[in-house]
Amino acid sequence: MIDLDEQHHQPAQSGSTTADRLLTVRLVAAFVVGAVLGGLAVGEWRDSRAERERNAVVALVALPVSANLGGSSAQGSVELSGQLTLINTGPAPVTVRQVHAERPGVVVRSTGEGPMLPPGGARQLLVELNFECAIAFQPEPLSIRFSVESGDKQVREIGYPVALVGSDWERDARSMCAPHA
């Protein structure tokens, strides 16, 4: 402030203006740093979320391969050991824990824990098959249930329809059913 009545004209103290500017610069710098760090944190969170979502996806294809690994037949039913080819069509590795299917005339179950399947990988799983010769081979697909551990370490249940008619399982079971028909 300048007093016009006084002979010695001196400006008011400019130290407070410098302090105000310094405080403003610090606040702007803190805001910029906060925005940058916040942006990085949001980016990391999005990446982490996308990876969790990717690891949660489970997609399997199942194909009956053979059932001629030994078996027995008695009183109109056949018990066989067979193989089921599993293909991981999902984006993350999965471990097959258990396989099970059941409908009138058909029971399929895994004999132990299955393989770890990398994305795009295929493995064979040993299964036990039980068919009642008279009613087992219906035209509807058999819904096979899989218990799998996904990439995010969660156990999930999924299903996949498998056509028995025309499969190796049907051929091998029918050849053992024929002598008892």
Which is more confidently placed, 3 or 63? 63
**Is the pLDDT at 161 greater than 90, yes or no?**
yes
Give tens-digit pLDDT for 13-24: 555 678 778 778
Whether CATH 2.60.40.10 fits 57-180: yes
What are 126's strand-pairing partners? 83
Mean pLDDT, residues 136-155 taken together: 89
Structure tokens at 48: 């982490």
Q: For Cα atoms 37, 21, 6, give the angle at the middle one, nearest 5 degrees.
A: 170
So what's the pLDDT on residue 11? Answer: 54
Which is more confidently placed, 2 or 175? 175
DSSP string, 38-106: HHHHHHHHHHHHHHHHHHH---EEEEEEE--S-EEEETTEEEEEEEEEEEE-SSS-EEEEEEEEEETTE
What are 142's strand-pairing partners? 162
Phi-psi sector, 55: left (phi>0), alpha (psi -120 to 50), beta: alpha
- Res. 99 pLDDT band, cuts 50 70 90: very high
Supply the mean pLDDT for the chain. Answer: 81
Sequence spans of domains, the chain: 13-56, 57-180
pTM higher than the cut 0.75: no
**Is the pLDDT at 108 greater than 90, yes or no?**
yes
So what's the pLDDT on residue 6? Answer: 58
